[in-house]
Amino acid sequence: MERSEVVKLLQQHHVTPTRQRIEIAGFLFKRHQHLSAESILNGVNSEGGCVSRATVYNTMGLFTNKGLVREVLIDRERVFYDSNNTDHHHVYDVDNGELHDVSHSDIEFAALPALPEGARVLDTNVIVRVSLKE
């Protein structure tokens, strides 16, 4: 993504395009990917950027709140930021720590739980955890 495209994307989501946010978004939106905050920090800085750990965490919180990325919580210690914010589910490989996208059409629900009166489903987020180890 060109810098001008990154700036436009941030502005479309009502995010002020600071240098650090542009560097983080530029790295994150190269392709659809699932990255931890540490991976983003290391990736941005290895490409010549200069962002701190706190800036990455704050920026990813902002990007999540503004709908730029989806936060995928695997457990208390593993959070991925998904640059593909279209509706989809995930398969998490516990052996190698990789997260993969799964189309909504690949998962069927027999039924949803009873909802409180007047409530509506906004989203479903299924994470299928897999392992090849016994």
The whole-number pLDDT of residue 87 equals 87
The whole-number pLDDT of residue 117 equals 93
The whole-number pLDDT of residue 122 equals 85
Whether residue 77 contacts residue 67, with contact meaning beta carbons closer than 8 Å, is answered with no
Assigned CATH for 3-82: 1.10.10.10
Residues of the chain with pLDDT under 50: none
The whole-number pLDDT of residue 30 equals 92
The whole-number pLDDT of residue 109 equals 85
Whether residue 79 contacts residue 36, with contact meaning beta carbons closer than 8 Å, is answered with yes
Distance CA 39, CA 13 (A): 23
The whole-number pLDDT of residue 21 equals 97
The whole-number pLDDT of residue 134 equals 75
Distance CA 92, CA 58 (A): 25
Helix (H) or strand (E) holding 20: helix 19-28
The whole-number pLDDT of residue 112 equals 85
Per domain, the residue ranges of the chain are 3-82, 89-130
